[in-house]
Amino acid sequence: MSFWESGKRIMGKPTIGIDIGTANISIYSDTEQMIFHEPTVLAYDTKKNKVLEIGHEAKDLAEKTPGSIAVISPLQGGIIVDFDMTLRLIKKVESRVSATTGKRFKQMNLVVSLLPGATNIERQAIGDILFSLGVRSLYFIEGSLAATIGAGLPFEKPMANVVVDIGAGKITTSLVSYGGIVTSATVRKAGNELDREIAQLVRNKYNVLIGLESAEKVKWQLRCDMHNDSEMIEIEGRDLVTGFPITIEVASSEFQAGVDEFLNRVLSVVQTTLENSPPELSGNIRASGLTLTGGGALLSGLSEWLNSKVSVPIHVSKAPFEAVALGTSMAMQHIDRLINIEKVTPR
């Protein structure tokens, strides 16, 4: 089936939804088909001033390349920290999308998700990049609203939809009602911060150097409550004393402190949002609970742990990784019922 078959046309153009996350870039068509989902990473040859790889191929090169080749993650905490590298990355992404769909960005409506409360500078950075590629139809939508749509929640009704979006660079909790965000809270330390804490513990305690990709693999073997856990995790790295490759075994419980910090960050934004929620919606929240989206939603035991802290039902979205991008691609179909979406024009 064509990516555009049966899709609703806005101004005669198909629409794609783009979620430019710290860890991954996800793009969906307006027919709810995934077009692109790869790491927000590029491999860059500093001598030749050339992008060699992007996405999975670039991530696989991390810590395996000569000094002249840098593997770069141009977003941190959900914001662009390297404008030039982000521009180069998005250009390559557009080429991939064009090869898949037969259309350039300028031939489509683009709906891009942003953090709630994103600054004008952050908005301008994304806009400048896309307008430089000839984009003529660009909309911004707040990511939590997009996640609510993508998770299949009744965002347009005057009732409480609380979404907890746990990504690599940020954790955001938002209360969505009647097509808009009522209140929201964000912390810009999330899954990537836990990866760094895992790598730091292994280095400090065992004199073993591991990369962030290896630390991420360890993370997905952890659970929320490991205080009495005797399970051993095998970790490969480099011995900082001998310089040789080494494999060690570490008890999962040794990572509990880092996991606890991560959990406390999640709880903090949830509590802030619930405390700032209108009392008229409290009954809705107690009945409908919270919906978890983002990759961090898949941390083992998270929904049970969070339920024990806030005493409301906890649900995990059917496709937590894709909820924001999927909702972003669907937004134009509901534009008349959305508050937190805006058309963007070049400066």
d(Cα 117, Cα 204) in Å, to the nearest integer? Answer: 37
Structure tokens at 61: 């090169």
3 state SS of 284: helix
- Determine if residue 24 is labeled as part of a ligand binding site: yes
Encode 170-184 in three state secondary structure: CEEEEEEECCEEEEE
- Determine if residue 22 is labeled as part of a ligand binding site: yes
Write the DSSP symbol of residue 223: B
- Determine if residue 183 is labeled as part of a ligand binding site: no
- Determine if residue 217 is labeled as part of a ligand binding site: yes
d(Cα 215, Cα 152) in Å, to the nearest integer? Answer: 32
Q: Scanning the structure block, which residue is given the tokens 């999308």?
A: 97
Helix 83-101 / helix 120-132 crossing angle, nearest 10 deg: 50
- Determine if residue 156 is labeled as part of a ligand binding site: no
d(Cα 78, Cα 189) in Å, to the nearest integer? Answer: 9
d(Cα 327, Cα 153) in Å, to the nearest integer? Answer: 10
- Determine if residue 170 is labeled as part of a ligand binding site: no
- Determine if residue 218 is labeled as part of a ligand binding site: yes
**52: exposed, middle or buried (Cβ count in 10 Å: 0-12, 13-18, 19+):** middle
Structure tokens at 56: 């999975």
Write the DSSP symbol of residue 243: -
- Determine if residue 23 is labeled as part of a ligand binding site: yes
**245: exposed, middle or buried (Cβ count in 10 Å: 0-12, 13-18, 19+):** exposed
- Determine if residue 297 is labeled as part of a ligand binding site: yes
d(Cα 319, Cα 26) in Å, to the nearest integer? Answer: 12
Q: Which residues are annotated as a binding site for ATP?
A: 22-24, 216-219, 295-298
Q: Which residues are annotated as a binding site?
A: 22-24, 216-219, 295-298
